[in-house]
Structures are given as structure tokens and as C-alpha cells.
Amino acid sequence: MSTPTNIAIRVPLLDLKAQYAAIRKDVDEAVRRVMESQRFIGGPEVSALEEEIAMWRMVPDAARVCLDLCTGSGASLPGLLRPGRLVLGIDASPGMLELAAAATAGPGWAPRLACADAFRLPLRDRSLDCVTIAFGIRNLRPRAGALAELGRVLKPGGMLVVLEAVAPRPGPIAPLHRFYLARLVPLAGRLSPDPSAYRYLSESIVEFGDGVQFERDLEAAGFEVAARRRFLLGATGLWAARRRPAAGEIQAGSPTAMQDARSALTAPGASAPADPGLEAEWRAWTWAQLTLAVGLVVALGWALVVFFKSGADLPLEPWQRRGLGFLIVAGLVLFVARSLMLATRLQGPASRRPPRTGL
Ligand SMILES: C[S@@+](CC[C@H](N)C(=O)[O-])C[C@H]1O[C@@H](n2cnc3c(N)ncnc32)[C@H](O)[C@@H]1O
């Protein structure tokens, strides 16, 4: 297959049918199973909206060529589109790319999709201003190899923005987070036709770690962490890291040009050029999450009352009764905290916050 080229970088254009034949179907199948398991347990597929908006905001407005690596079904692509920007989506799974192609087709300019391995990107050295990876870096092992390849294709000063599910960090929420990964995710797997996808999900999150090692890996690969945030009570991490110029390299664009133009929003009295569509979507999504969280608080509160009134009559062993009581109380605490957090977020122009530092 000949690959038409673009003047700035070498981009294989979409020829999914031919690529599909060349790649084993079981890769698609494995990816689909993992993605479905995530959707089922309310993982990244379901909860990514707020994090994804934050990820898009970390992409410098001045970035002219952006790659969304491990793009999957292309959920992260729409927020990257800007007039005058070339957006690429790359994934190893042709099946996922077909979904991305279907989702991004339509009038207007569309992202270019390509099937390729993250370790051997079909891109020239220093051709990209920004790379985003949502829930993909965890799958790229050895990590040093993937980061080296990203360092190769990013311009000096270019930005790498990574969103990833992380393992528990020491703290008050850690036991609940550990319980979720070690017990609830595999339990959801046992109820599903494909437990291995769920096992992979929790194992790979634990293997990825709490983000501390990832930051060391970034530093070692020549990146400087510029911003970091946590979401979902610490279960998801977001990093923006700048590729340091190597010896003798000149940084692409002035530091001002590469800054997130939205950082101006932090200035007192600054106007807000945020996309109103995204803003409304974010607000609707946060309200939906809040409604669900409050509903769960009410349900768990009611369950607790019933448990205290007639828990002794339940045909359970004492340890099972204690476990049930613990689960109800833990769930109640978790969802009260979540409701408060969402309500606080809705108070102000939350989606316009500057990136917080400190995970
Ligand atoms: C959990 S999905 C994330 C998809 C998407 N970014 C999202 O947020 O919905 C991970 C994706 O990484 C892709 N992937 C895994 N290993 C890869 C590799 N070596 N090169 C390119 N893509 C890869 C998989 O095909 C899958 O689509």
C-alpha cells in the first residue's frame, strides 16, 4: 500500500481495510474485551469526561500537530480539533480505529487515523507539538521504550499529556481504592462472561503504580513534569510533561507560544474563552454524577437503617454480617464525600480551574 504523505510529517492515510487484513483479529478482540470491562465497572470509558476536558486543556493552543496515541475508538479526538491544527489518532487495533473512523466522520475537517505500534511510530523525528494518551500508557511496556519513541517524535519543548488510572497512594482513601481494585473489579469479572479482561484491568493498574515511578520514568526519558492533577478521589492521574531540548537542540516556539493559552484564565478578571459547548456538557455530566451519587447516599442510608433494625434477623454468619455492615458504611462515606466534592465543583466555574499541582 502506498502511503500518501503530508508536507510536515509522514502520515499514513486511512486504509483500514488493507490494514485490518494484516493484523491479527485477536488483538482487536482482547482490546474490545478490556474496553467493555472498563465500561461495565464505570471505569475510564464512563467517567472520562471531566478528566478528558482537563486533558484537552493541557494541550497548548499553539500546538499545530497533535497526536492522540492509543486513540482506541477516538474518544479523545474531538476535543483536540482546532482550526489550523493537524490531529492524528494512532492505535494498534484496526477494529478500534474503525470505530474511531465512524465516530469522527462527517462534515468539517477530520482527524487522520493510522494503525501503528506506539514503539515504532510512522512519524518523523521532532514532527509533533503535542501527544495525548488517555488510558493507554499503562499498556505500553517497557515504558522507557515508549517514552523514548515519544521523545523522538516530539519537538523540543513539545508537550506530552497523559491520563491514566492509577494504583492507590497511601492516605485515607487508599483502603477503599485497594478494595475496589483487588475485590470489586475481579468480582465484577466473575459475574461477566470474561473474567480475564477484568483481571488484566486491575493488575495493569496496580502494575502501573501510583504515579511516582511514572514521573521518574518521564524525567529519565528527558521530560519535565509541568502539571499534574488527580480525579475520582485519586483513582485517575493526569500529567503534562514537556520534552526537554537535548544538547544542541533549539526549543520549538517561544515558551510563551507553547504555554497553555487558557492559563490566562487564572489572571484576576480574565475573560473565559472556553468552549461553551464543552462547558455545558461538563456541567450536565457533573449534575448527572451528582444526582447518581446523592441517589446512592439515600439508598445506602436506607440500607444502613434497615441493617441496624433487622440485620440480626438476616440468615448470615457473624463475619458476613460484619462485612455487610462495613460495606454499607464504607459506601456511604465514599458517596457522601463524592457528593460533597461534586457539589463544590458545581459552585464555581470549576471546569475553568487552572491545573492543580500536587497529586
Ligand atoms: C484502554 S484503551 C484507551 C482508548 C482511548 N484512548 C480511550 O480513552 O478510550 C487502550 C488502547 O491502547 C491501544 N494500544 C495498546 N498497545 C498499543 C501499542 N503498542 N501501540 C498502539 N496502541 C496500543 C489499544 O489498542 C487500545 O485501543
> Per-residue pLDDT tens for 306-335?
888 887 787 878 888 888 888 888 888 888
93 lines ligand 1 (CB under 6 A): yes
> Per-residue pLDDT tens for 178-189?
888 888 777 777
> Per-residue pLDDT tens for 200-225?
888 889 899 999 999 999 999 999 99
208 lines ligand 1 (CB under 6 A): no
Distance (Å, whole) CA 351 – CA 78: 17
Looking at the CA of residue 48, tell me the nearest atom of ligand 1.
8
Gap from CA of 13 to ligand 1 centroid (Å):
19
What local confidence, expressed as pLDDT, does residue 29 receive? 60
Gap from CA of 71 to ligand 1 centroid (Å):
6
Distance (Å, whole) CA 67 – CA 126: 12
> Per-residue pLDDT tens for 57-94?
999 999 999 999 999 999 999 899 988 899 999 999 99
Gap from CA of 68 to ligand 1 centroid (Å):
10
Kindly list the domain boundaries of the chain, sorted by start residue.
Answer: 16-263, 276-349
Gap from CA of 70 to ligand 1 centroid (Å):
3
- CATH number for the region 16-263 comes to 3.40.50.150
